Structures are given as structure tokens and as C-alpha cells.
Amino acid sequence: MTATARRARHGATLGLVFGAVLLSGAAAGAWGGTPPAAQLRRAAADAVGGLPDLSGLTPAQAERLVAAGGDRWAAYYSPQDYAAFAQGLAGEYLGVGLFVDRTEDGATVVGELPPGSPAAAAGIAVGDRLLAVDGGPVDRLPVTEVVALLRGRADGPAGGGHPAGPGSPVRLTVQRGAGPPRELTLRRVLLTAEDVAVDHPVPGVLWITARAFTSGVGARIAAAVRQAPERGVVLDLRGNSGGLLTEAVATASVFLDGGPVASYQVGDERRELTATAGGDGRTPLVVLVDGGTMSAAELLAGALQDRCRAVLVGGRTFGKGTVQQPSRLADGSVLERTVGRWFTPAGRSADGTGLLPDVLAAEPADAEALALRVLGGLGAGTAPPTASPAPSR
């Protein structure tokens, strides 16, 4: 498998993983890094009933197994990539603080800049065009590959074949408007992921954006609802690629007074996931979804839809309804393979089809205003005019 193919697969799986270890809750911050092999195997066996252990494979055999196809979500991680994966689930990442978007013409532009990040300190601004990373053009590359380059993955050119670490340099070429390109050399640092954003776009409406389900996201969403009781809530899951199942269930518990959230099946065994009693089951709730809403984010959206707790607005979700189990190999690398599927409370599987929202947005750009209008129709806040203000994201 080429380095480019590995980056693409890693970029997707690192964001989408919904593995057996996550199902058991063992990865929810308990290891603080790459989990010891014995703990990994024990947690996986507890979660899925002891499926065959592949730890005896060599890395070359594992990569050939992934390359052979047949399992869309099978993935091989080097020890460095798996450590970065565990770090990401803990809500941290190595980088320079650039969140990039893709324009319709294929250009890569800066979408967000965390305050105090190396990129912000260097004078890069939202809207600047990112032309190259370490001399390699990034226009028309998948966003996952651009992110991999910025973070300096072991198989990316920035790492020179070696994993990047704090203090490692990355050379960026950026352009503002019609001005001349600028070349900047920044140094990577360990940053805290801001995976929850809170806004009040119109009076009486609390807008919560959850970008991923990393450690602590459920608690931050619960705190936002407690601290700012409103007449209506929009939970924005667009582009949320999943993460820790425990955090998705914790978020469901904010809006459900107990009861089923989902079930998952591996082999002949089926287990139920339930919300904690005492959640807010009354405040009008709209959930925004799109084609980037994946995995654990789809599970949450499906639960709120099936339980008639929320109106889903936007576009059809991605359609990842499977469960992966990791197996640690002798050199510390990890092979993940699909071992089962999850289901909504009504028994639906999102796998391959995604979830259809209750209210479809004709265009993605219309989704935010539509969500506010739907929320107004539920009796929350004041129904905004056609050109309603959108929340900051």
C-alpha cells in the first residue's frame, strides 16, 4: 500500500473508529497513551466475547490483509499512529492549529485558528489559502491527507519517514487574497482539541456544535445545557466523524431520561446501551446532520430520532454502522478489523445507507437557517427571518 493510500485510510479510521475497546469504555482516558497489549486484548475480549486474536501477525502480513480488501474499515496503524490515535481520543493533537476547508474549486483554505496556536501567532488568518505543506501542493488533496501532513505523520513527507513530535518544523506556503504567496516555517506543539463550541444565534436558542466525541465532550455539553437553560437547543453534528462511544452515550443522557440509546451485535451476542436517567426530555431539540456525520455521531442522532426526542435537519448521514476490534501486534502496531454492527433503538442499521433527516435541506448552506425555523415551529425562541444570523463555527 502506498503512503498516500495509508494516509487516506488512517485519516478516515482515526476519525471514525468505533472499536470494541471503545465499546467497553477502556479507552476513555484510562490509558493516557498507547494501551498495553495485555489490557487491549483483555478489553477487546470482554467487549466482543473473545474473537480470534490476530496478534501473531507480522506488520507486513497485517498490511497485506488490509490491502486485500473485503473490509472497508480494516486498517493498520504503526505504533506512532496508534499513539496519535489514543492521544486524539483524549482530546489532544499535535499540530500548528490549522483547521482547513475545501472550496468548490478544490482550493484548501484556513477554516479556523485556535487562539494562541503557532499558526495564529504567525499571522495566518481565516480565509487564507494553504498552497503547500513542506513544498508539496495541497490543492485538491482530501482534507484528511492535508491534516496528516500538517500533523507530521510517520509516513508523510514532513516526517521524512520518522514520526513528528513537539517542536518538529513544518513549512507552509499560504496566500491571502490576490497577494503574493508567503512561506512560513512553524513548529508543532501539543494542542487541546476544542471539540465543543457554544453560541446563542437568536434569543432563546442554545447552539451546541460537537465536532467529535473525544474524552470529556459529553460533560461539556451537559454543562452548557445546565449553565444556559434556553427555550430550544440546536445540536450541530455536521462533520462529526465519531469517536468515543461513551461520550456519545453521555451526550444522549443529557437529552434523554434513561432508556435505550443503541444496541450492538458481534457474532451471536447483542448488548444494549442505555442513557442515564435524569436528562432533559422536554426542551425542544433540533439535531443538524450531513454527509460528514459518522459512526458514533450517527448512533446519537439515530437514538434521538427513534426516541422522538429531536427533529433531524440537514442531509443524509454518512452510513458507518459497524464495529471494529483492534489487535495489537508484537511490534506495538495495531490491526483493526470489522467484527459487527450497531443498531438504533428501533432496530435500524445505518450501515451503508446513513440516516435520513426528518427535514431535508435543499442546499447545505440552507441548513442553519432551516434548523432555526424548525426549532421556532417547535415553540422554541423566536422564529427567525429568512436571512437569520448563523452561529459562529
* All cell numbers assigned to 42: 483483555
Q: Say if strands 259-266 and 285-289 run parallel, antiparallel, or are unpaired.
A: unpaired
Tell me, what DSSP letter sits at residue 97?
S
**Is 220 buried (19+), middle (13-18) or exposed (0-12) by CB count in 10 A?**
buried
Residue 320 annotated to the active site: yes
Residue 215 annotated to the active site: no
Interior angle at CA 147, CA 145 and CA 153, nearest 5:
80
Contact yes or no for 57/336 (Cβ under 8 A): no
Q: Active site residue: 241, 320, 327, 333, which one?
A: 320
Q: What's residue 186's pLDDT?
A: 95
Q: What's residue 23's pLDDT?
A: 31
Spell out the domains of the chain, with CATH numbers in brackets. Answer: 3-93 (no CATH), 96-192 (2.30.42.10), 196-321+340-377 (3.90.226.10)
Q: What's residue 95's pLDDT?
A: 85
Distance of CA 170 to the CA centre of its chain: 24
Q: What's residue 31's pLDDT?
A: 28
pTM: 0.69
Of 305, 336, 332, 309, the residue nearest 323 (C-alpha): 336
Report the alpha-carbon distance of residue 143 to residue 128 in Å, rounded. Answer: 15
pLDDT by residue for the chain (393 residues), tens only, comes to 333 333 333 333 333 333 333 333 323 222 233 333 333 333 333 333 345 567 788 888 888 888 887 888 888 888 877 777 776 677 677 889 888 887 878 889 998 888 888 999 999 999 999 999 999 999 888 776 788 788 875 444 433 444 567 889 999 999 999 999 999 999 998 877 778 999 999 999 999 999 889 889 999 999 999 987 778 999 999 989 888 889 999 999 999 999 999 998 877 888 899 999 999 999 999 999 999 999 999 999 999 999 999 999 999 999 999 988 888 899 989 998 888 899 999 999 999 999 999 999 999 889 999 999 999 999 765 444 333 444 544
Report the alpha-carbon distance of residue 328 to residue 131 in Å, rounded. Answer: 38
Strand partners, 331: none
DSSP structure string for 1-35: --HHHHHHHHHHHHHH--BHHHHHTTTSSSSSSSP
Report the alpha-carbon distance of residue 55 to residue 37 in Å, rounded. Answer: 9
Please enumerate in sequence order all residues whose Cβ is within 8 A of that of 15, keeping only pairs 6 or more positions apart, or say none: 144, 212, 241, 242, 243, 294
Q: Active site residue: 295, 349, 388, 392, which one?
A: 295
